[in-house]
Amino acid sequence: MKTIIFSDTHLKQHFENKKFQFLKTLCENADRIIINGDFYDGYYLSCDQFLQSKWQQLFPILKTKQTVYIAGNHDPLAEISNKALVFATQIVAKYQIVLNEKTLVIEHGNRVFKSKVERFPFLNNFFTRYVNEMLDAIIFNPNLPKFLKNLERKKLQRDNAKIKKIILPKIAANQIFVCGHTHLAEFLPEQNFINTGYIDYHQASYLEIIDQKLCLVVTSY
């Protein structure tokens, strides 16, 4: 039994064939899929638009893989509703997987953060859609100067540390919190924490579970 948990693909109206082929192969080679939020990017298109986009070529594959769809901040539960049942068997806010000795508590991870618009109400869709995209394109550019990438990594590490500080005291000793949201992958099962990272900008990381064993896969496409 092979389970794949991934998050933060941020699929948009623009169809990227390389990204599609990567996701298609990833999903085809799994027995079960857990999508942990931000599957599509609601800053750029609605759920209805996403369901009608070229990304729907993934849906028949996902439908055969017992896909669980966990809502994120770019694809909130209220927006998804039951529409995504065309490819998912469950649509939830969080999910658990019981292994032999540990239970994975899977949640996108955004509830410990306020969005930019929540923090700065005067910001409008122009910021959230276009400026945010521009910043992401710079931040996750593999050719970014090393000192800038180090600064951004430290910021993402602080975000992961915030999740751990708030969430980990609230979970049981035999539980592992599995999230995404920050886009920074961390594999710390001994500390009851895993961040699966993201799949975007030709970089990919995800959690693989085979025969109760956990493995963080980091690659590119």
pLDDT digits (tens, 9 = 90+) for 103-144: 999 999 999 986 655 555 555 555 556 666 666 666 666 676
pLDDT, tens digit, 9 for 90 and up, residues 53-97: 999 999 999 999 999 999 999 999 999 989 999 999 999 999 999
Counting the structural domains of the chain, the total is: 1
- Provide the CATH number for the domain around residue 43: 3.60.21.10
pLDDT at 145 (0 to 100): 75
Q: Domain of 116?
A: 2-220
The per-residue pLDDT of the chain, averaged, comes to 91
pLDDT at 117 (0 to 100): 54
pLDDT at 150 (0 to 100): 78
Q: pTM of the predicted model, to two decimals?
A: 0.90
The DSSP result for the chain, as a single string, is -EEEEE----B-SS--HHHHHHHHHHHHT-SEEEEES-SB-TTTS-HHHHHHSGGGGGHHHHHTTT-EEE--SSS-HHHHTTGGGGT-SEEESEEEEE-SS-EEEEE-SGGGS--HHHH-TT--HHIIIIIHHHHHHHHT-TTS-HHHHHHHHHHHHHHHHHHHHHHGGGS-TTEEEEE-SS---EEEGGGTEEE---EETTEEEEEEEETTEEEEEEEE-
